[in-house]
Structure 1
Amino acid sequence: MRILITGADGFLGANLRIRLREAGYQDIVGITRSSSPQELVAGLAAADFVFHLAGVNRPQTEDEFVRGNRDFTEQLCQALRSVGRRTPVVFSSSSQAALENPYGRSKLAAENILLSYGRESGAPVLLFRLTNVFGKWARPDYNSVVATFCHNVARGLPIRVDDPAAKLRLVYVDDVVDAMLRCLASPGPAAGLMEAGPVYETTVGEVADIIRSFFISRSTLLTPPVGTGLTRALYATYVTHLPAASFAYQIPQYDDPRGTFAEVLKTPDCGQFSYFTAHPGVTRGEHYHHTKAEKFVVIRGSAKFRFRQIVTGEFHEIVVRGGEGYIVETIPGWAHDITNVGDDELIVMLWANEIFDRARPDTITMKVVA
C-alpha cells in the first residue's frame, strides 16, 4: 500500500510517519511545503490512501487561510478526481470549523470540498475535528500552548497565564495517531466526522501548574502521578522539550563512615525510592517500624538481613547476593539490620511505602542482636 501524507514534516505528520513505519508500512510519500505541484499530482496518482494533514493556522494575512486550507484542498481533490480512483482520505480538520472565524471558515470549506470528492468518487472521506493537539515535537509558540509552557518551564523561563480558569480542551498526539491508524486498517463509514481521544477537559492554570511541578520535582524529588491520563501525556511532552544538557541531574548523597545514602524519587501516595552503600563488615539499619514497610534489592555484593520480633523475640536471617533477583521485605514490629558480609562494597536499592517524615520518622532504634 502506498500512503501519501500532506504536511509530512509537520508536528502531526512526523508522528504519523514514525508510527506507520512501526506498523510495517514502508511505501510512504511525504508532501511538504517544498514539494512542487507536480510532485503532489504524481504522488496522488499512485496513492492508495491519503492523510491530508497540511494546513495553515498561523498566517501573516487571512488570505493565507484560504490559500493554505481551502485552495490547497481543492487542488488535492482535483488531482484525485483526475486519477479516477476511489482513494480514501483522512483529513485533520479543526474544532474551529464549527466557529465563525477566518480559520474556521477555511477548514469548513476544506471539509466540504473533501466530502464533495467523496460523494462523486465513492471514496471514504474521514474528518477529524481536532482540538489543541499536544505531544512530542510540537513547536512552542506555534502548535500548542502546552508546547510553549513545556519549552519555557524546562529552561527556567517565565510563562504567561492571563486567566488560570480559562477552559482548555486537549488531545494527545499519540491518541490522534492511534485513531488515524484505525482508519487505515478499516476505513469504516463512507464519510463523516471521526473521534480522537480522550479529550482532556482542563484549564490553563491547571496545565501550567502540572508542568511547573515537573520542573520542581528535580529539586524536591517528589514526582507527580505521571502514569495515567493527562499528567502522563503532559510529562511525556515536557521531557521532550528538555535541552540535551538537562537530560541528567544530580541528587543529594549523604556520606558517613558506613557508606552512602541517597533518596532517588518520591511519590505523592506510593512512597519513595532510595539506595545505600555499605563497606565490608558494616551493619546498617538496627531499628524497627510500626507502620512503614520497605522492599530491599541487593544490586551488588552480599548482604545478611537479620530480623527479630520485638515482642516475642523470634529471630530470622537471610543472606542475599547481588544478581539473585530477591526482594527482602521489612515487616512492621520486627527490628532489622543489614550487614555487608562480602569483600566488595554493598549496593542496595530500597522502596519504602511512605515518604520519610523527619517530624514522625516511624524509625525506632533497636539492635537485632544485643
Structure 2
Amino acid sequence: MKIGITGQSGFIGTHLYNYLGLQEGIERIPFEDDFFKDKSKLQSWVAKCDAIVHLAAMNRHGDPQVIYDTNIKLVKQLISACEQTNSKPHILFSSSTQEERGNPYGNSKKEGRKLLEQWAEKNNAHFTGFVIPNVFGPFGNPYYNSFIATFCHQLTHGEQPKIDVDGEVKLIYVGELVQEFRKNIKLHRVAQSDTQSNTVSNTAKHCETIKIPHTKEIKVSKVLNLLESYKADYFDKGIIPDLSNEFEKNLFNTFLCYIDYERFFPFPLKLNTDDRGSFVETVKLNSGGQVSFSTTVPGITRGNHFHTRKAERFAVIKGKARIDIRKIGTDKVLSFELDGSQPSFVDMPVWYTHNITNIGSEDLYTIFWINEHFNPKDPDTYFEKV
C-alpha cells in the first residue's frame, strides 16, 4: 500500500507520516511542498500513490480571500494531476468543523471537499472527507495550529497566556486522529480489492463524509489551569502529574515538547549526605507506572528506541552518563552529561529516540521511571539509533 500526504511537513502531516512508518505493509511516498509549483513533479507523485491524504492548506493570512483562493487552488491542482495521469487513488481530505461557520477558511474546506467528491464520483474512485474538530498535540506551531500550542509555548518561555473567549472546545489528540486516517485507508483498501475481484463488501462506502468525533470537550480555562499546574509542579519542581486520565496524559506529553530541552536538562536533584551515606529523591509523581533500576558497565549504551505515548525519566545516581535524544525525522541530536556525584535526570519526550551511555570508568547506576507497566503485546517501543 503506497500512501502520500500533501502537507507532509505540517503538524498533522508529520504525525501521520511518522505513524504510518510504524505500520506493516505501508510504503510512504514522500511529498514536498514544491510539488504544487511543478506540474510534472505533482503528476509523477500522484501516479505512485494508492492513497493520498490531502492535508496541505492555508489556515491563517491577513487577507481571508487569499486563504479561500489558495485552498481551492490546491484541491484543483490535485484533481488535475490525477486526471492528467489517469490516476484513481483513494483520496482522504481533511476538512474542519469550521465548515459550519461560513468563514473563508471553512468555505474553502467545504467546497474543496465537494470538488473532490465530484471527481471521485466521475472517475469511480474512492473518496473520504473528514470533518475534524480542534486538533492538539506535540510539535504544533504556537499562534497557528492550536491555542494549546500557544499556551504551552507561553508557559515554558516566561509569558503569561490570555484567554479571549472562555468557551467549551471540542478536541481530539493528534495521535487519535492519525489512527482514524489509517483505519479508513484500510477499510477502503479492502473495498477496492473486493471491487476488483467482483465480490460484494459493505466495509466502506464509495464516497463518504465522516464527522470525526471529538474525544474531549472542555473549557479553555480548564485547559489553561491544567497547563499552569504542569508549569508549577513539573517545570519548576520536576514533579510528574497524574497521568491516569488519557486526555491529561496527552496534554502533558504535549506540554513537554515545548520545553527548551537544551536549557532545562539535566534537572538537578537534591543530594542528602550524612555519616550513613547519601539519599536522593529521584521521582516525585502523582501518577502510577513502573520504576526500574539498572547498572551499566563502562562504554555500554542502552536504549536507542522511542515511544509514541509513554512518559519516561532517566535519573543517574552514580557514575557518569551521556544521554542522547533526537526527534524522529530530524538530524539534530541533543546530548546531556550527567554525573552521579550531583544526581540529576532527563525526561524523554514522545517521538524522540533516546539512549544512555556509560562514559565513566565505573559502573553506572540509573533509575528509570515510565508511566505504564510494560506490556509485551503492546510495548510502544520502536528501535531506532539516535
Same fold (TM over 0.5): yes
Who is 2:254 aligned against? 237
Comparing 30-39 with 227-236, which one deviates more in the overlay?
A: 30-39
Cross-structure match for 2:300: none
Alignment correspondent of 1:166: 167
Q: Indicate yes or no: 2:283 matched with 1:265.
A: yes
Q: CA RMSD in A?
A: 3.0
1:157 Cα deviation after fit? 2.1
Tell me the alpha carbon deviations over residues 233-284 of structure 1, each in whole angstroms, 9 at most, x when there is no partner. 1111111111122143123232222222233334447699999xxxxxxxxx
Q: 1:67 to 1:247 in 2, by over 3 A?
A: farther
Q: Residue 17 of structure 1 corresponds to which residue in structure 2?
A: 17
Measure, in 1, the Cα distance between the counterparts of 2:259 and 2:53: 30
Output one character per residue of 1:326-345: Cα deviation in whole Å (capped at 9) or x when no partner. Answer: xxxxxxxxxxxxxxxxxxx9
- Cα distance change on mapping 1:268 and 1:22 into 2, 3 Å: closer
Normalising by structure 1, we get a TM-score of: 0.69
Pick one of 97, 102, 105 that aligns with 1:95: 97
Contact 1:31 1:40 in 2 (8 A): no
Distance 1:247 1:133 in 2: 29
Report the equivalent of 2:245. Answer: 228
- Whether the 8 Å CA contact 1:4–1:47 is kept in 2: the answer is yes
- CA 1:208–1:37: 2 relative to 1, 3 Å: same
Written as runs of structure 1 = structure 2, the 5 A alignment for 1:1-370 is: 1-24=1-24, 25-33=26-34, 35-38=36-39, 39-163=41-165, 165-187=166-188, 188-196=204-212, 198-218=214-234, 219-245=236-262, 246-268=264-286
| Distance in structure 1 (CA, Å) of the matches to 2:232 and 2:292 | 19
Shift, 1:140, TM fit: 0.8
- How far residue 27 of structure 1 moved from its aligned partner, in angstroms, is 4.2
| Higher radius of gyration, 1 or 2 | 1
Q: Structure 2 vs 1, CA of residues 271 and 43 (structure 1 numbering), >3 Å: closer, same or farther?
A: closer
Alignment partners' CA distance in 1, 2:53 and 2:77: 15
Q: Distance in 2 between matches of 1:14 and 1:270?
A: 30
Q: Following the alignment from structure 2 to structure 1, what is the Cα–Cα distance between the partners of residues 147 and 61?
A: 17
Uncovered stretches (5+) of structure 2, i.e. residues with no partner: 189-203, 294-316, 319-362, 370-386
Asked if the contact 2:36/2:74 (under 8 Å) is kept, the reply is no
In percent, how many aligned pairs have the same letter?
27
Name the aligned partner's letter for residue 223 of structure 1.
I
Q: Which runs of 5+ in 1 are unaligned?
A: 276-298, 301-344, 352-370
Contact 2:272 / 2:279 at 8 angstroms: preserved in 1? yes
Equivalent residue letter for 1:242: I
TM-score in terms of structure 2 length: 0.66
Deviations along 1:100-119, one digit per CA (max 9) or x if unpaired, are 11111111110110111121
1:147-196 alpha-carbon deviations (Å, 9 max, x no partner): 11111212232211234x42122111111111111122222222222354
| Contact in 2 for aligned 1:175/1:197 (Cα 8 Å) | no
C-alpha change, 1:181 and 1:247, in structure 2 (3 Å) is farther
Runs of 4+, deviation exceeding 6 Å:
269-275
Task: Give the residue type in structure 1 aligned to 2:220.
Answer: V
Aligned AA for 1:240? C
How far apart are the structure 2 equivalents of 1:270 and 1:21? Answer: 30
1:287 equivalent in structure 2: none
